[in-house]
Chains A and B, each alone.
Chain A
Amino acid sequence: MKIDPSFIWLAFVQLLAVIPTTLMITAVSVTAGFVIGLAAAIVRIYNIPLLSQLASAYVTFIRGTPMLTHLLLIYFSLPVLVDAICAQFGWGFKSSSIPMIGFAFISFSITAGAYMSEVIRSGLLAVSRGQLEAAYSVGMTTPQGLRRIVFPQALAASLPNLSNSVIGMLHGSTLAFTVSVVDINAKAQIVAATNWKFFEAYLAAAAIFWGLTFLIEKLTALLEKRINLYNRGGVA
């Protein structure tokens, strides 16, 4: 076996076609994860009985187990649950009509939600209490104060962590191959196996991921510059 540099390029071009799949999985899991994470974070900050314990258990479980086990558990148990529920209510829906990528979406969203809830929570706690008090003192209601004063500052504070979560989910999306979704990783495997040139194919895949990661960080840096304008004065 000899390393074939020209094949790296060939594989690279073939892999470009499946970038949208990877990005789609990342985008869906990050978006849904943000919503789940926000809910879990707020429930925990306000210490709502029962719900807050549930949220803590969820976060602990997800963060304490590999993302792969979440995917496998969802992949095997969701159809059973769906079919049982549909049979119970007499719906015509069959679990076999869930597309493979749907399992990736659901499972990765659950994973992302747990990580994001920690990120959001620390962002919210980073905003000092005085900010909300000041909002009250000018006559705002709690929702107004949260929306106009606390959330923007929390977002700015957690931007670097959010960006890391996005990158984590981008890298985690490589697990989708276990449920036969053809993302960059799976495509690399296919390209590699058909040509028996594994190293070259994975080198191309690594290059693409490296590039995407770089891009996310550049975008974050840009966003941070705009959003964090108010911190440019130094310490005060």
Chain B
Amino acid sequence: MGAPFDFTFVLDFFPKLASTLGVTLFIVAGSLLVGMIVGIVIALPRLYRIPVLSTCSKVYVSFFRGTPILIQLFLFYYGLPEILQLVQLDLSKAHVLVFVILTYGLHTGAFMSEIIRASVTAVDRGQVEAAYALGMKGHQAFILIVAPQALGVAVPVFANTVIALLKDTSLAFTIGVMEMTGKAQTLGSITQHFIEAYIALAVIYLCISITLQKLLQLAELRLLKHELPDSRDDRGSRDSGDTEDNTARKTFRIQKKRIYTRTAGSMRTEKGGAKL
């Protein structure tokens, strides 16, 4: 299968693949934008418990989390033009990227709405009560008190969603988008050096993933400044015994927390979850 392995091809493929990086990132950015808007729209009825609409939101989220994104992609690519034809809208000339971004946007929206919902509910009820006690109005309490704290909770999970989205863009080639994976496939079949092409591809994805993660981690650190562990709370703790095992326990707990947030995030990037 193919020509013998030659490492120089890997190096050779980097710039060629990188030239299509723009398409990949464009899909990510476009889908995020659509997803953000959709997510807010979908989350609101559930946060405010609007009767019929909140059920619709549930079904929406369940569908997009309960079916593979690849199936969703095909469904929209083939189905949307047909459905829109019924209302005399011709989409057959639309650019294929429109379908990709729309599908991924709707898909990401489902996850976003869950993130928004979870992080808003994660903010302690007492915070809102304290805001009311200071004489704030409902929207003031939300914007000034709840939203900033919710954002801090949301960032790690959001980071995972963005990285999942990046990885999902690799499926766009199935409907003929020439993004990085598609380009790698083309390069592979032209030169017959498939392995080299896919190694180069994997390395680029890995680099972007890591960069995105680092960037979002920085954002998280800034937003969670108020929750950073402080040495003072150690001394304040109940004199539960000897300090030496307090420090051990403390490091352990911090480590645990970090891992927890990371996996709590990955939980949602797994595409799973039809739960209503």
Q: Do chains A and B touch in the complex (CB under 8 A)?
A: yes
Expressed in whole angstroms, the Cα–Cα distance for A115 and B205 within the complex equals: 17
Q: A6 → chain B, closest Cβ, in Å?
A: 15
Write the B1-17 contact mask toward A (1 if CB under 8 angstroms, else 0): 11001000000000000
Q: B5 → chain A, closest Cβ, in Å?
A: 7
Q: Interface residues of B, CB < 8 Å — how many?
A: 57
Contacting pair A170 B205 (CB below 8 A)? no
A68 interface residue per 8 A CB criterion: yes
B22 interface residue per 8 A CB criterion: no
- Asked whether A65 and B167 contact (CB < 8 A) given A125-B259, A165-B272, A167-B272, the answer is yes
In the complex, chain B residues whose CB is within 8 Å of the CB of A164: 267-268, 270, 272-273
Chain B, range 108-157, C-beta contacts under 8 Å to A: none
Which chain B residue shows the least CB distance to A198?
B78
Contacting pair B256 A125 (CB below 8 A)? yes
Contacting pair B78 A202 (CB below 8 A)? yes
Expressed in whole angstroms, the Cα–Cα distance for A166 and B267 within the complex equals: 11
8 contacts between A and B (CB under 8 A): A66-B168, A126-B260, A129-B252, A161-B266, A168-B272, A202-B71, A206-B67, A213-B272
Residues of A within 8 A of B (CB): 1-3, 60-61, 63-69, 72-73, 76-77, 79-80, 115, 118-119, 121-122, 125-126, 129, 160-161, 163-168, 170-172, 174-175, 185, 188-189, 192, 198-199, 202-203, 205-206, 209-210, 213-214, 216-217
- Asked whether A69 and B181 contact (CB < 8 A) given A1-B85, A118-B262, A125-B259, the answer is yes
Contacting pair A209 B267 (CB below 8 A)? no
Contacting pair A203 B79 (CB below 8 A)? yes
In the complex, chain A residues whose CB is within 8 Å of the CB of B220: none
Contacting pair B201 A69 (CB below 8 A)? yes
